[in-house]
């Protein structure tokens, strides 16, 4: 009995060291060596400061920019230290109420918009940190952004297309538009324009 107890403890500690220290540290080292940027979280740096991650969405609800999807994280939307989903069931009346509220907000920002609203623009994502919107959601916002930002629709379409990510095989997943990189590019465009106007 004592022998098997001692074997148990010794083997457990050995395997714990192998799988809990040696293995993760090996992955860590190799990851840093091979993929220095990606292993650190694909951070976006602007003027020497981290402004976000290319993989993590941010709450953006300015009319001049493309909006992200609604987020269910608390206390603030897109809290990347507290990922969460709304967990609202399809039959939950709150779902319809939430969507109505978001529809109203969209309409408020862009009274002229017509046509049905793409579903991802009025529903929260699984992570609460969805970095992307659908092509339709981007297209839906182009008229508003063009009007509010004073940019030609053609320019915005090109910009959206440049930030569209398509999976290597079409059936793996849908094409999406990365919002934060898109808006940062847009931001640069506005800044350039401002500088030019000055």
Partner 1 sequence: MTTALFLLFSILALTFLLALPLGLYAARVFAGERVWTSPLLAPLERAVYRLAGVDPANEMDWKKYATSLLLFNFAGFLFLYLILRLQPLLPLDPLHLGAVPPGSAFNTAVSFVTNTNWQDYAGETTLGPLAQMLGLTVQNFLSAAVGVTLLLPLVRGFVRHETDRLGNYWVDLTRTVLYILLPLSLVFALVLVAQGVPDTLTALVRAHLVFPFHEGAHLVRHQAIALGPVASQEAIKILGNNGGGFFNVNSAHPFENPTALTNALETVAMLLLPATLLVAFARLARAPGTAVALVIATLLFFIPLALLSAHEELSPNPRIAVLSVAQHPSPRLAGGGNLVGVDDRIGAVGCALFATAATATSTGAANCAYDSMMPLAGGVNLFLMQLGEVVFGGIGTGLASLLAFAVFAVFLGGLMVGRTPEFLGKKIETFEMKMVSLSILVMPLVVLVGTAVAVLSPAGRASVGNPGPHGFSEILYALTSPGNNNGSAFGGLDAATRFYNILTGVAMLLGRYWVYLPLLAMAGSLARKRTVPVGAGTLPTHTLTFVVLLAGSILLIGALNFLPALVLGPGADQALLMTRAAHAALVRRAAP
Among positions 51-70, residues that touch partner 1 (CB under 8 A) are 51-62, 65, 69
Shortest spacing between CB 37 and partner 1, in angstroms: 9
Please state, in angstroms and rounded to a whole number, the distance separating the CA atoms of residues 166 and 171. 10
Please state, in angstroms and rounded to a whole number, the distance separating the CA atoms of residues 143 and 111. 11
| Site membership for partner 1, residue 38 (CB under 8 A) | yes
| Site membership for partner 1, residue 182 (CB under 8 A) | no
The structure tokens listed for 104 are 């109203």
Among 2, 90, 196, 198, binds partner 1 (CB under 8 A): 90
| Site membership for partner 1, residue 71 (CB under 8 A) | no
> Cα 155–158–159 angle (5° rounding)?
85
| Site membership for partner 1, residue 197 (CB under 8 A) | no
Interacting residues of 131 by C-beta distance below 8 A, sequence separation 6+: 53, 54, 55, 56, 57, 68, 178, 179, 180
Among 86, 144, 151, 160, binds partner 1 (CB under 8 A): 86
Strand partners, 36: none
> Using CB under 8 A as the criterion, what x/- string covers residues 130-169 for binding partner 1?
xxxxxxxx-x-------------------------x-xxx
Please state, in angstroms and rounded to a whole number, the distance separating the CA atoms of residues 28 and 149. 43
| Site membership for partner 1, residue 92 (CB under 8 A) | yes
Closest CB to partner 1 among residues 21, 150 = 21
Residues between 105 and 124 that touch partner 1 (CB under 8 A): 115-120, 122-124
Do the Cβ atoms of 84 and 61 come closer than 8 Å?
A: no
């Amino acid at each position: 009995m004592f022998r098997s107890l001692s074997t148990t403890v010794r083997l457990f500690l050995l395997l714990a060291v192998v799988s809990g220290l040696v293995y993760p540290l090996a992955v860590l080292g190799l990851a840093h060596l091979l993929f220095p940027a990606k292993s650190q979280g694909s951070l976006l740096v602007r003027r020497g400061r981290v402004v976000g991650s290319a993989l993590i969405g941010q709450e953006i609800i300015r009319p001049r920019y493309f909006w992200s999807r609604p987020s269910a994280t608390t206390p603030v939307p897109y809290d990347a230290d507290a990922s969460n989903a709304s967990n609202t069931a399809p039959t939950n009346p709150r779902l319809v109420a939430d969507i109505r509220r978001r529809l109203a907000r969209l309409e408020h920002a862009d009274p002229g918009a017509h046509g049905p609203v793409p579903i991802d623009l009025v529903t929260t994502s699984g992570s609460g940190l969805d970095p992307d919107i659908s092509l339709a959601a981007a297209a839906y916002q182009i008229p508003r952004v063009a009007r509010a930002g004073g940019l030609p629709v053609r320019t915005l379409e090109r910009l959206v297309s440049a930030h569209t990510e398509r999976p290597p095989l079409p059936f793996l997943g849908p094409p999406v538009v990365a919002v934060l990189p898109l808006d940062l590019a847009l931001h640069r465009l506005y800044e350039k324009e401002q500088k030019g106007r000055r």
